[in-house]
Every structure is written in structure tokens, then in C-alpha cells.
Structure 1
């Protein structure tokens, strides 16, 4: 037992999270993580919002949502190009789901109470890849802001 504990603390590479499949569920989660980190911070409010969205969207409990988010964090780290992640969704989901995804992304951005230019630029980049017209994207942003305020 002592050897296992020693290996765990002495060799972090021995224990790692596997790279999740680059499917639509993980891509959406990775984009939410990227949106939360766009302002160079990753706050509790944003993490909690991601977990709530994942739980609701996938009809899973909070523990499963946190596990899914952790997998999405790994995917977000290893896929440096936002367009590559968004393209997974662009080809895999319907227009309605793309709009729901954008609302979720904006909810994550608004979770900490502040919208920064870096977050705005990232979301507009994702909107373009998903093929959502700017006027419709603005409507979705406003809807998400209202939803976040409660």
C-alpha cells in the first residue's frame, strides 16, 4: 500500500485521465471550458454552471456531470484550435442544438457576472464556425443573459 501511495505522489504521470472521445458531448463541454477560461480565469461559478448544463443536457446526476466536465477539460487542453473543437459540433448536431449550445456557452460566460472582450471574441468565433448568423447569435446571447440573471 505504501508503495502505491509513494507512486501516486512521486510519479504523477502514473495516474492520468485518458483522452476522451472527440464526440459532440465532449466537444460541447470542451467549448464551455474554453469559454470559461477565455478571460484567463476559471472560477467556481463557471465550473458550477458547466456542471449544471451538462447534467441537464445529458440527464445525468451531478457526480456524472462533474466527471464529464473533467473529461472535457482534458479534451480542451489537448485541442488548441477552437475551430477544430467547434467543427466537431458543426457536423454532428442540428441547427436547434447549435443554438442551444450557444446559449449554454453564453451562460458560462455570464456565470461570473462579467463579460470580457476575450470571451466575446471567442463566442463570435464559435458562432461563425457553427454557421449561426450574427443577428440570430445576438438574440441567443440576450436570451442567455436573461436566463443567467434568473
Structure 2
């Protein structure tokens, strides 16, 4: 029992965990992964969409985007809630980047060709938390749909 408590204390005291939470790339990756996992079916196609979005949003090469996705998966799995990530996005990304993220979130949600109620609920929750208006979110959804998300794997 003492070893388990020590491990928990070490995890919460780890400076790299705190630093990762403040990294906008990791924060965005964690939100994208959270959305991809919202329907309990995190597919390889969704992983590809997440990597593609990260590469586009942060000008990453394929290897960097894969690493960012993996870091986001780890951060998302450790997080008790999404507030730490939405706070970073809200304070460190421009309005245009937050709207682009919202469009990316819609691309992930639509990438499997269905609108899952869990994904819809999470998207409604995330928009105000990252300071994106309902109108901007709706327009982002329309752009994601027009680009073909939900019909061909959601490539953006």
C-alpha cells in the first residue's frame, strides 16, 4: 500500500506531467483524443485524422505528429478532467487557431461516418471551454462536412 501511495505522489509531483499539461500541442492532442474516444471506439482511422490535424495546426512532420498524438493519449489517460487542457488552449491559442481546432474536433467526430451522441455532447461542452461561439462551432462543422469528414475517413 505504501508503494502505491508513493507512486501516486510521484505521479502528481512529476514536473514533466505539469509541463506537458501546459504545452498547447499536448493539450490539443489530448482534446482530440478525448473526442475520438468519446464513442468508446478509438480507431486507426481516427488516429490518422488526429495526427493529420496536429501536423496541420502546429506545422509538424509525420514523426512529430505521431509523437504528439502519443503524448496526447498519455495526457488524456492521466487527466481527471479536461479543464487543464481547455485552459491551455483558451489562453495560448489565437481565436483563429481555436476555431481551426473546433473544425478539427468536428472532423474527428465525423470521421467514422456517424454522429455519436457522446461526441455531440462533448463538442457542445468543449466549444465554450475553448472560447468558440456556437456559431463558429456550427460553421466549423459545416466546413468539416463539406471537406468530406464522415464519408471518406475524415482526411482534412
TM-score over 0.5 (shorter chain): yes
Alpha-carbon distance between aligned partners in 1 of 2:133 and 2:50, rounded to the nearest angstrom: 25
Alpha-carbon distance between aligned partners in 2 of 1:57 and 1:97, rounded to the nearest angstrom: 7
Offset at residue 105 of structure 1 (A): 0.8
Offset at residue 138 of structure 1 (A): 0.9
* CA displacement 1:65-119 (0-9 Å, x = unmatched): 1111101101111112123321111111111111001001111111111110100
Alpha-carbon distance between aligned partners in 2 of 1:115 and 1:90, rounded to the nearest angstrom: 25
**Aligned residue number for residue 13 of structure 1:** none
Kindly indicate whether residue 130 of structure 2 is the aligned counterpart of residue 133 of structure 1: no
Kindly indicate whether residue 87 of structure 2 is the aligned counterpart of residue 87 of structure 1: yes
Unpaired runs of 5+ residues, structure 1, are 1-17
Q: Which runs of 4+ in 1 moved over 4 A?
A: none
Offset at residue 131 of structure 1 (A): 2.1
Structure showing greater radius of gyration is: 1
* SS of equivalent residue, structure 1 residue 21: helix
**Are the aligned partners of 2:29 and 2:50 in contact in 1 as well (CA < 8 Å)?**
yes
CA RMSD of aligned residues (A): 1.6
* SS of equivalent residue, structure 2 residue 39: coil
**Aligned residue number for residue 116 of structure 1:** 116
Offset at residue 58 of structure 1 (A): 2.5
* SS of equivalent residue, structure 2 residue 20: coil
Paired positions, count = 133
**Are the aligned partners of 2:57 and 2:97 in contact in 1 as well (CA < 8 Å)?**
no
TM-score by length of 1: 0.81
**Aligned residue number for residue 64 of structure 2:** 64
Unpaired runs of 5+ residues, structure 2, are 1-15
**Aligned residue number for residue 99 of structure 1:** 99
TM-score by length of 2: 0.78
**Aligned residue number for residue 20 of structure 2:** 21
